[in-house]
Copies of this chain bind each other. A is one copy, B any other.
Amino acid sequence: MISELTAHIRKFTPLPADADAILADYIELRTFRKKEMLLRAGHLCNANYFIVKGLCRSFQLSEKDTEIINHFAIENWWITDYFSLESRKPSEFSIQAIEDTQCAVLYRERQDELFDTLPQFERYFRIISQRALAAALQRVMYIFGNTGEERYEHFRASFPEFVQRVPQYMLASYLGLTPEFISKIRAKRNV
User: Interface of A with B (CB < 8 Å)?
Assistant: 60, 62-64, 68, 70-71, 81-83, 86, 115, 119, 122-123, 125-127, 129-134, 136-141, 143-145, 173, 176
User: Which residue of B70, B83, B145 is within 8 Å of A63 (Cβ)?
Assistant: B145
Q: A133 touches which one: B119, B129, B173 (CB < 8 A)? A: B129
* In the complex, chain B residues whose CB is within 8 Å of the CB of A122: 119, 122-123, 126
**Is the beta-carbon distance between A68 and B145 smaller than 8 angstroms?**
yes
Say whether A137 contacts B86, CB under 8 Å. no
Q: Which residues of B contact A143 (CB under 8 A)?
A: 140, 143, 176
> Do A131 and B62 have beta carbons less than 8 Å apart?
no
Given contacts A83-B138, A133-B136, 4 further A-B contacts (CB under 8 A): A70-B141, A86-B130, A122-B123, A140-B143
Contacts of A176 in B (CB 8 A): 143-144
Cβ–Cβ contact A62 & B126, under 8 A: no
Cα distance A130–B64 in the bound complex, in angstroms:
28
Which one of A64, A82, A144 has the greatest number of beta carbons of chain B within 10 Å? A144
Q: Given the interface contacts A119-B119, A143-B176, does A127 sit within 8 Å of B62 by beta carbon?
A: no
Given contacts A133-B132, A134-B83, contact A139 B141 (CB under 8 A): no
Q: Complex: how many Å from CA A40 to CA B158? A: 27
CB distance from A49 to the nearest CB of B (A): 15
CB distance from A117 to the nearest CB of B (A): 12
Indicate if the CB atoms of B141 and A140 lie closer than 8 Å: no
Identify which of B63, B115, B123, B139 contacts A140 (C-beta below 8 A).
B139
A130 and B129 contacting across the interface, CB-CB below 8 Å: yes
